[in-house]
């Protein structure tokens, strides 16, 4: 990889004026052509790269604040610990681009997101990792939702054999596996919103509680009630109370199952409670980690 030194070799194709081994002022570079180059500790603030290609290059510790990449092919380029605050990416090709520990204008990058599902997923994963490393948790969560959406679309296209790419890569077994993964995606999204929506998890828990209460009130389930000398079924209100104390793993013991069906239901309810509290703890932790 060739290292570019602006001070010793400014080059008319790259710059007109140099400063601090970089480009001074608002300079426009049309039809830029760089490949397999290293730009380390460069001053490129306010520079506009217009059209052309910067492919498989590496920017390290570069000041690119307020810079603009306008219709530039950035395939395979790495940005490491660069200042890209307020940098604009307009209609750029961002295939296999990596941002690592960069101050970044996420909105601008997302406007140039590749349309191909697999490449889009990869770039979104890179952006999410960068946001996490910079402590930008809100952006990390937003990008995570976009990444998961791209993954769902990728699986859906695999199941449908949407293009020749999927027809070549996915046989019948792979399509079944993709369908199962897609179903699991939708369940995770509906039940707890991937841990990003505590309100959705609370609604799911409430719906589960009402469902279990309705099942427990059926005549096939019998219970021993404290202070009564008979085995009987429960009213819906009593079933709601019984399922609530079992779901929360409190278990006062004033209502106990009397037949096999009721004992099985009590076990399932308790297990659901343990799993549910695990989900709630994960969602709350993610929320507080912001």
The tens digit of pLDDT for each residue in 216-247 reads 999 899 999 988 888 899 999 999 999 999 88
Structural tokens at position 86? 């307020």
pTM score: 0.71
Residues near 96 by beta carbon (within 8 Å), at least 6 away in sequence = 75, 76, 119, 122
Residue ranges and CATH numbers for the domains of the chain are 1-112 (2.160.20.80), 113-194 (no CATH), 198-289 (1.10.287.70)
Q: Looking at residues 58-63, what average pLDDT do you find?
A: 93
Determine the Cα–Cα distance for residues 195 and 281; give it in Å rounded to an integer: 9
The torsion angles phi and psi of 59, rounded to 5 degrees, stand at -100, 125
Instruction: Please enumerate, as own/partner, the contacts of 96-100 that have beta carbons within 8 Å and a separation of 24 or more.
Output: 96/122, 97/123, 97/126, 98/126, 99/126, 99/127, 99/130, 100/129, 100/130, 100/133
Determine the Cα–Cα distance for residues 289 and 259; give it in Å rounded to an integer: 45
pLDDT greater than 80 at residue 195: no
The torsion angles phi and psi of 45, rounded to 5 degrees, stand at -70, 140
Residues near 278 by beta carbon (within 8 Å), at least 6 away in sequence = none
Q: Looking at residues 136-152, what average pLDDT do you find?
A: 89
Determine the Cα–Cα distance for residues 228 and 185; give it in Å rounded to an integer: 47
Answer with the residue of higher pLDDT: 266 or 283.
266
Q: Are strands 231-232 and 223-225 parallel, antiparallel or unpaired?
A: antiparallel
Sign of the dihedral through C-alpha 13, 15, 16, 20: negative
């Amino acid at each position: 990889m060739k290292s570019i030194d602006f001070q010793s070799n400014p080059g008319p194709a790259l710059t007109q004026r140099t400063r601090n081994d970089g480009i001074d002022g608002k300079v426009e570079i049309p039809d830029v052509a760089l490949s397999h180059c290293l730009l380390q500790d460069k001053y490129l603030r306010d520079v506009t790269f217009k059209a052309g290609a910067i492919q498989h290059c590496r920017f390290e510790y570069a000041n690119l604040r307020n810079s603009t990449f306008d219709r530039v092919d950035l395939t395979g380029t790495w940005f490491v610990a660069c200042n890209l605050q307020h940098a604009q990416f307009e209609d750029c090709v961002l295939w296999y681009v990596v941002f690592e520990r960069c101050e970044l204008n996420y909105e601008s990058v997302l406007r140039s997101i590749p349309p191909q599902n697999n490449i889009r997923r990869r770039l979104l994963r890179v952006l999410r990792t960068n946001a996490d490393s910079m402590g930008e948790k809100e952006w990390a969560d937003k990008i995570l939702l976009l990444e998961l959406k791209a993954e769902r679309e990728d699986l859906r296209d695999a199941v449908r054999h949407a293009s020749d790419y999927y027809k070549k890569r996915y046989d019948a077994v792979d399509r079944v596996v993709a369908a199962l993964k897609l179903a699991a995606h939708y369940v995770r999204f509906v039940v707890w919103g991937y841990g990003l929506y505590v309100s959705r998890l609370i609604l799911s828990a409430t719906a589960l509680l009402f469902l279990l209460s309705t099942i427990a009130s059926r005549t096939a389930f019998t219970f021993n009630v404290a202070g009564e000398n008979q085995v009987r079924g429960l009213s819906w209100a009593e079933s709601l109370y019984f399922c609530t104390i079992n779901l929360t793993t409190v278990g006062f013991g004033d209502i106990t199952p009397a037949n096999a069906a009721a004992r099985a239901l009590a076990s399932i309810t308790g297990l659901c409670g343990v799993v549910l509290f695990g989900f709630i703890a994960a969602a709350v932790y993610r929320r507080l980690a912001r």
